[in-house]
Amino acid sequence: MTFLKISKAAVIGAGSWGSVLANVLVKNGLDIKIWTRESKQVTELNEQHTNHHYLPGLKYDERLVATDDLAAAVNGRQVILLVVPTVAIRSVSQKIGKILQTSNERPLIVHASKGLELGTHKRISEIIAEEIPEANRAGIVALSGPSHAEEVARQDITLITAASADVAAAKTVQKMFMNDFFRIYTNQDIIGVELGAAFKNIIALGAGALNGLGYGDDAKAALMTRGLAEISRLGVAMGAKPQTFIGLSGVGDLIVTCTSVHSRNWRAGNQLGQGVPLADVIKNMGMVIEGITTNKAAYELAQQRQIEMPITQAIYQVLYQGCDIKQAIANLMQREGRSE
């Protein structure tokens, strides 16, 4: 595709991240329709310009239009930005694919979600490519990097990456999001960007758990460093470029998710470390904790490919096999000595 100036886009998913990205685009002068399956949220966004459950206290731009009619959100838009949890990407993409086939449109598809599909272990752009026919999409771009909705909402400085094999598509997305607080880089390694985004959530669960158990900064730095080593190992085996893991969507996102109180994954791990049962952690969060499902996918991939991922394995044992967290940490510490 050629480089496009975007004036109309749809945002699919009005959780914390989708609604804040939509708000950024409205402030950048775009005409934005945001879709949510929750009709109460549509009324709240259109009438009060708030999204209380996800971002209490935030006033959204009054020009942001919400709808629960997917066709009305998608039709006539040059860009469709998907920001639903990974588990919902396939079903939502399928519906969008059918709508675009009927209207015979060909928008650019962007996603800002972070995870792998359970069972298939597919990346989000792979799922989208399967569900939206090529004749009805102009390109697929992944938007990813160290960014919490709570901080972008207050226009803190944030730098992220638009990744696509299609350079013009990535540049189009870069251009539509850039402003004085939001800076976008491009990257052609969409595999590495999507995998870094998905896998860092696993390590963030571990960082939160260490905090909940009362460990200090040494333990956190060790977990992040060795975590980066093992997620890069799996990522490179899956076709990612090693240097992508030292970029914004790799170590950048790992740092923010392992250290920020805004992170849902870190907060979930913190509660687990304090002894809260997993079912209660999930119920209390009321928002997606992507690392829980991605941990299962990454564990299975590591087993299949015989890649050593001791931290991912320890977290899997805690989440899915009933292992006590302290025992899982003791097991990690008692592993045979290694070289870096």
Ligand X SMILES: O=C(CO)COP(=O)(O)O
Residue ranges that bind ligand X, judged by CB under 6 A: 114, 146-148, 201, 204, 253, 256-257, 263-265, 290
Nearer CB in complex with ligand NAI: 54/266 = 54
Instruction: Report in angstroms how near the CB of residue 330 gets to ligand NAI at its nearest.
Output: 30
64 binds ligand NAI (CB under 6 A): no
Q: Taking contact as CB under 6 A, which single stretch among the options 24-32, 283-291, 304-312, 325-333 is the one that binds ligand NAI? A: 283-291
214 annotated as ligand-binding: no
To which residue do tokens 């870096």 refer?
340
98 binds ligand NAI (CB under 6 A): no
Residue 84 site contact among ligand NAI, ligand X, none (CB < 5 to 8 Å, cut-off depends on kind): ligand NAI
Cα 68–42–281 angle (5° rounding)?
95
Measured over the CA atoms of residue 39, residue 44, residue 49 and residue 52, the dihedral's sign is negative
93 binds ligand NAI (CB under 6 A): no
To which residue do tokens 């990097």 refer?
145
Q: Figure out which of the listed residues 112, 203, 256, 319 binds ligand NAI, where binding follows CB under 6 A.
A: 112
Catalytic residue among 98, 200, 283, 296: 200
Q: Figure out which of the listed residues 23, 113, 187, 249 binds ligand NAI, where binding follows CB under 6 A.
A: 113
Residue 126 site contact among ligand X, ligand NAI, none (CB < 5 to 8 Å, cut-off depends on kind): none
161 binds ligand NAI (CB under 6 A): no
Instruction: Report in angstroms how near the CB of residue 338 gets to ligand X at its nearest.
Output: 29
290 binds ligand NAI (CB under 6 A): yes
Q: φ, ψ for residue 155 (rounded to 5)?
A: 60, 35
* Residue 121 · residue 300 · CB < 8 Å: yes
54 annotated as ligand-binding: yes
- To the query of whether residue 200 is one of the catalytic residues in this protein, the response is yes
With CB under 6 A as the rule, give the number of residues binding ligand NAI: 26
Instruction: Report in angstroms how near the CB of residue 160 gets to ligand NAI at its nearest.
Output: 8
13 binds ligand NAI (CB under 6 A): yes
241 annotated as ligand-binding: no
Q: Figure out which of the listed residues 33, 77, 114, 123 binds ligand NAI, where binding follows CB under 6 A.
A: 114
How many alpha carbons lie under 13 Å from residue 324 in its C-beta half-sphere?
A: 3
Q: Which residues make up the interface to ligand NAI (CB under 6 A)?
A: 13-18, 36-38, 54, 83-86, 88, 92, 112-115, 147-149, 287-288, 290
Q: Would you please indicate which residues are annotated as catalytic (active-site) residues?
A: 200
